[in-house]
């Protein structure tokens, strides 16, 4: 299918519209959707509850609002973001994305029991598995220089997408403004905006409203869309650790009965940590003196990168699952965490949201090209059908991994060990896993 671009034609139904599409939420998903749509010539208004400083946080000042999460992006999602950032003929922002990203060349999955000091079994996945042929495991002929994915700091990603969106002629951003209410009609949707410092509310009309307002989406609630919810009763501690030796682009995930511990290769000889455990354990870890915290972290992290030290503040995120029963309503589509939020153990939540963006933009652009109403229920249902399959399987995988790996039963442990050993020995199985991680899109 050729790349479709929308004709910048005037509106046939003559409604007084400020935008073709309104997006609630300037998170990573909302900004990506805006850039993707703007590239196709749709006029977009983004409504964001927070002020401009959400996007102008100073790294040196260790601002409390800075998102220090090390976000793992699949190689294909990362390439897609680079395309969104390539505006007109300027590749400057895409280049900046490249400079702030750290490639993942290898992944190690470790079954461990930190209290018993046991590092029992490993599964090693490499970028070389992407193209290795059965029986040619060690052949260099089919090796590739494509990494499995990239790590980008959450705040850096948010800021660069914002820079792209705020300078795009087809995008208007309403800061410090909540999307308070909406009403869908046959031909349009009317949204009510409440600015933080203004008593008078503003209403605008558009063809379509995208709810990119996160896990606790108020738009989802207003549309009366029910949601499956599961509280893992865990938090994720996030921080950056500096280490003596180079990580060489290796990401490691330790599965333990206490919770998962991931180290993600970042720039400047640092690794981003995502440490999941019961709320009270994480709270204790956050309150520990730095030197005590490092001692605890070293028991999880091991000595493979030498001595470690804390390179950022420590932040805790509650961990839960939520999955909307429907992703669409009349002239409304849910994307990203508003549709599905998952356990961070596989680093896939945002990847799922970015694939929502790709599918939605493809569906509505094709509809527009064919002269259909791009926000009709048929078009939105097509989007939902495609995306639900992907989300269902990832929810099943992450939830099952959590159940299986955080259980201390001896039988389950034996099954885990056998499974890891088996996968490690079968090139085809390893290749299937790395392909899914790198190329899903």
Binding site for ligand FAD (CB under 6 A): 24-30, 47-50, 69, 71-72, 178-179, 212-214, 218, 236, 238, 274, 317, 336-337, 344, 347-351, 353
Alpha-carbon span 397 to 289, nearest angstrom: 36
CB 23, min distance to ligand FAD, A: 9
**C-beta closer to ligand FAD: residue 259 or 353:** 353
Alpha-carbon span 156 to 70, nearest angstrom: 10
CB 354, min distance to ligand FAD, A: 8
Alpha-carbon span 279 to 299, nearest angstrom: 19
Nearest to 152 by CA among 77, 254, 248: 77
CB 217, min distance to ligand FAD, A: 7
**C-beta closer to ligand FAD: residue 132 or 401:** 401
**C-beta closer to ligand FAD: residue 238 or 328:** 238
Nearest to 69 by CA among 247, 274, 346: 274
**C-beta closer to ligand FAD: residue 28 or 308:** 28
CB 176, min distance to ligand FAD, A: 9
The angle subtended at Cα 214 by Cα 15 and Cα 21, nearest 5°, is 15
**186 CB contacts (<8 Å, ≥6 apart)?**
none
Q: Quick one: which H or E segment has residue 260?
A: strand 259-266
CB 426, min distance to ligand FAD, A: 26
**C-beta closer to ligand FAD: residue 101 or 351:** 351
Nearest to 394 by CA among 74, 18, 2, 39: 74
Radius of gyration (Cα) for the chain, nearest Å? 22
Q: At what angle do helices 154-166 and 75-85 cross, to 10 degrees?
A: 30
Alpha-carbon span 119 to 431, nearest angstrom: 24
CB 360, min distance to ligand FAD, A: 13
H-state helical runs in 57-215:
75-85, 92-99, 154-166
**C-beta closer to ligand FAD: residue 380 or 394:** 394
Which residue lies nearest ligand FAD, judged by its C-beta?
A: 27
CB 240, min distance to ligand FAD, A: 13
CB 225, min distance to ligand FAD, A: 15
Alpha-carbon span 273 to 334, nearest angstrom: 29
Pairing label, strands 189-195, 202-206: antiparallel
**C-beta closer to ligand FAD: residue 25 or 430:** 25
**C-beta closer to ligand FAD: residue 94 or 350:** 350
């Amino acid at each position: 299918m050729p790349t479709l671009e929308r004709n910048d034609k005037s509106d046939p139904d003559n409604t007084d519209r400020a935008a073709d599409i309104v997006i609630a939420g300037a998170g990573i998903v909302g900004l990506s959707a805006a850039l993707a749509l703007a590239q196709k010539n749709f006029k977009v208004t983004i409504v964001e509850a927070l002020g401009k400083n959400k996007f102008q946080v100073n790294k040196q000042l260790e601002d409390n609002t800075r998102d220090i999460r090390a976000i793992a992006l699949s190689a294909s999602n990362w390439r897609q973001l680079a395309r969104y950032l390539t505006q007109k003929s300027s590749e400057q922002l895409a280049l900046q994305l490249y400079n702030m990203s750290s490639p993942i060349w290898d992944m190690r999955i470790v079954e461990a029991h930190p209290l018993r000091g046991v590092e029992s079994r490993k599964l090693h996945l490499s970028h070389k598995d992407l193209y290795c042929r059965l029986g040619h495991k060690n052949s260099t002929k089919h090796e590739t220089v494509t990494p499995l994915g990239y790590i980008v700091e959450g705040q850096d990603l948010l800021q660069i997408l914002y820079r792209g969106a705020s300078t795009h002629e087809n995008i208007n951003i309403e800061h410090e403004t909540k999307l308070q209410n909406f009403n869908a009609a046959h031909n349009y949707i009317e949204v009510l905006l409440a600015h933080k410092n203004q008593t008078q509310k503003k209403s605008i009309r558009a063809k379509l409203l995208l709810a990119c307002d996160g896990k606790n989406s108020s738009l989802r609630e207003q549309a009366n869309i029910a949601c499956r919810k599961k509280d893992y009763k865990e938090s994720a501690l996030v921080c950056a650790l500096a280490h003596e030796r180079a990580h060489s682009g290796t990401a490691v995930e330790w599965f333990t009965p206490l919770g998962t511990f991931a180290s993600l290769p970042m720039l400047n000889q640092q690794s981003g940590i995502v440490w999941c455990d019961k709320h009270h354990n994480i709270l204790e870890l956050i309150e520990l003196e730095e030197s005590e915290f490092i001692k605890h972290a070293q028991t999880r992290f091991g000595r493979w990168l030498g001595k470690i030290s804390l390179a950022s503040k420590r932040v805790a995120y509650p961990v839960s699952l939520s999955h909307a029963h429907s992703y669409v309503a009349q002239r409304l589509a849910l994307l990203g965490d508003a549709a599905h939020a998952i356990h961070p153990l596989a680093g896939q939540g945002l990847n799922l949201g970015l694939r929502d963006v790709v599918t939605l933009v493809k569906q509505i652009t094709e509809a527009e090209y064919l002269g259909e109403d791009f926000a009709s229920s048929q078009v939105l249902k097509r989007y939902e059908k495609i995306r639900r399959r992907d989300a269902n399987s990832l929810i099943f995988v992450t939830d099952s991994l959590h159940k299986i790996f955080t259980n201390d039963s001896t039988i389950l442990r034996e099954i885990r060990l056998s499974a890891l050993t088996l996968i490690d020995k079968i090139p085809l199985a390893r290749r299937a896993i790395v392909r899914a991680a790198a190329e899903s899109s």
